[in-house]
Amino acid sequence: MVFSTDNSVANPLLTAIIDGLATELSVADTSVSSSGHPSSSIRMGVLRQRTHQKNTTSSHGIKRTKKHPKTTIASLPKDLLVDILAHVGSSSFIDVFNAKQCCKDFLEATEEHYVIQRISIDKFPMIPWYPQSDNVCSFLMNCFDKGNPESLFRRGIIDYFEKAEVESGMEYLKMASKKEHTEATYVYGMILLSQGDRMSDQGLKLLNSMRNSLSRCWNVDDCRNKPKTPLKIKSSSN
């Protein structure tokens, strides 16, 4: 399957994805990395050259659009394509779903563990008001099976607080915490802190690691409210 610059679905989507991710990369990247492979920024430049159209002006002053030769999707580095889709999916699962429709290579890339583990499921309620479609259930189960941190966190909250399945709830919260899920780390740390003895020391150490985090891009109120909100909704609906 070829990837044409006049493709109304694939080209704008891929171009937007490439441009969005390129802003995250350092302009100071040199030509070759220490491993001998081209740096990310250089590969981005190559992709732009392949996906952008070139405007030219004729001798009569009429603008013409010169299209580059068709490029196969297979020519894109697989690891870079997966990185791009994972980056996009972390903020918008809809864009990843749209990417699936472009071609077989995109479809396969979106099913990679790395992409599924980072895809955002925030738009899906932890405890839905209405029965979910088979497609949604299948997608969310796929996220859980492949270790999506938010999915693990949700299962841990439901098991521990709603179903009173303490062991499984703690295990899922622990797994999500190891994947650096902020709310899971906070909840898991607080539970350990409340258990006393050696567990308290582990919980305190975990909470201190959040406080000393270099990013510090977390809010205590958010960590407290996120697990409480769906449980309140569930309680009020009964």
Q: Which residue do the tokens 């779903």 mark?
A: 97
Q: What is the dihedral of CA 205, 206, 207, 210, to 10 degrees?
A: 120
pLDDT band at 8 (very low <50, low <70, confident <90, very high): very low
Assess contact for 173 and 157: CB atoms under 8 A. yes
Mean pLDDT over each residue of the chain, to the nearest integer: 73
Structure confidence at residue 63 (pLDDT): 58
pLDDT band at 40 (very low <50, low <70, confident <90, very high): very low
Looking at this protein, which amino acid is placed at residue 214? L
Q: What is the dihedral of CA 73, 75, 79, 80, to 10 degrees?
A: -80
Strand partners, 58: none
| Planar angle of CA 53, 55, 57, nearest 5 degrees | 160
Q: Across residues 134-144, what is the average pLDDT?
A: 94
Q: What is the pLDDT of residues 151-179, one digit of tens each?
A: 999 999 999 998 999 999 999 999 999 99
Structure confidence at residue 143 (pLDDT): 95
Looking at this protein, which amino acid is placed at residue 57? T
Q: Across residues 92-116, what is the average pLDDT?
A: 87
Residue 8 burial (CB count, 10 A): 8
Terminal alpha carbon distance of the chain: 52
pLDDT band at 15 (very low <50, low <70, confident <90, very high): low
The domain locations on the chain are: 2-26+42-50+67-118, 134-231
Structure confidence at residue 26 (pLDDT): 43
Structure confidence at residue 214 (pLDDT): 47
Structure confidence at residue 108 (pLDDT): 87
Structure confidence at residue 153 (pLDDT): 95
pLDDT band at 99 (very low <50, low <70, confident <90, very high): confident
Assess contact for 95 and 62: CB atoms under 8 A. no
Q: Which residues contact 94 (CB under 8 A, 6 or more apart)?
A: none
pLDDT band at 205 (very low <50, low <70, confident <90, very high): confident
Q: What is the pLDDT of residues 223-238, one digit of tens each?
A: 666 665 555 445 445 5
User: Quick one: tokens of 56?
Assistant: 């030219």
Q: Across residues 44-60, what is the average pLDDT?
A: 50
Q: Which residues contact 91 (CB under 8 A, 6 or more apart)?
A: 120
Residue 130 burial (CB count, 10 A): 6
Assess contact for 42 and 49: CB atoms under 8 A. no
